[in-house]
């Protein structure tokens, strides 16, 4: 039985999903609970930033991971109290599970104590990163 209905349903559902997907990229989502695991220098490979650490999880099959890395690396140069760490998700699965990272790139914003304050999925805009960093005291 040939029909246009499956095509139209798929295009409609994908469009709704696509608009939400596009809108949510890079959006800083504050963590609802205050406590969480402390992420230390050992698991990240670098020392924590004195105020904020941006911890990015990437994978091999992820194009926006490269753009995110380039942006964040560039931005921390001018921010002495903010540090940037980059982790390959696949080779740090224990940490990925503990922090419940599901997609890449996911950037966690950690406070000075190494506790997650919030996260952003997808490549953020410069202004979104600044807003997130400034919201952390």
Partner 1 sequence: MALLKESSADMKSNIKLIDARGPRFSAALTTLVLGLALVTQSTILIALQLLVFAVGAFAGPAKTPYAFLFKKFIRPRLRGDIPVEDVRPPQFAQSIGLIFATIAFLGSLLALPALFIIATGFALAAAFLNAAFDFCLGCEIYLIGVRALKR
Positions in the binding site for partner 1 (CB under 8 A): 1-4, 6-7, 10-11, 13-15, 17-19, 21-22, 57, 59-67, 70, 89-90, 93, 96-97, 101-105, 122
CB of 10 to partner 1, least distance (A): 5
Q: How far is 126 from 67, CA to CA, in rounded Å?
A: 11
Q: How far is the CB of 57 from partner 1 (least distance, A)?
A: 8
**Alpha carbon distance 87, 25 (integer Å):** 19
Is 13 or 135 the residue whose CB approaches partner 1 more closely? 13
| Residue number, 37 or 80, with CB nearest to partner 1 | 37
Is the Cβ of residue 85 or residue 87 nearer to partner 1 in the bound state? Answer: 87
Rank residues 31 and 92 by Cβ distance to partner 1 and give the closer one: 92
**In the bound complex, what is the minimum distance in angstroms from residue 100's beta carbon to partner 1?**
9
Q: How far is the CB of 95 from partner 1 (least distance, A)?
A: 12
């Amino acid at each position: 039985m040939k029909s246009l209905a499956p095509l139209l349903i798929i295009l409609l559902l994908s469009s709704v999903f696509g608009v939400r997907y596009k809108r949510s990229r890079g959006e800083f989502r504050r963590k609802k609970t205050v406590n969480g695991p402390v992420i230390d220098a050992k698991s990240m490979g670098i020392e924590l930033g004195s105020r904020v650490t941006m911890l990015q999880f990437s994978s091999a099959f992820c194009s926006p991971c490269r753009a995110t890395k380039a942006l964040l690396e560039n931005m921390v140069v001018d921010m002495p109290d903010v540090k940037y760490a980059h982790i390959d998700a696949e080779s740090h699965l224990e940490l990925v599970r503990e922090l419940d990272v599901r997609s890449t790139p996911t950037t966690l914003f950690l406070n000075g104590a190494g506790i997650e304050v919030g996260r952003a999925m997808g490549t953020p805009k410069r202004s979104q990163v600044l807003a997130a960093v400034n919201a952390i005291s």
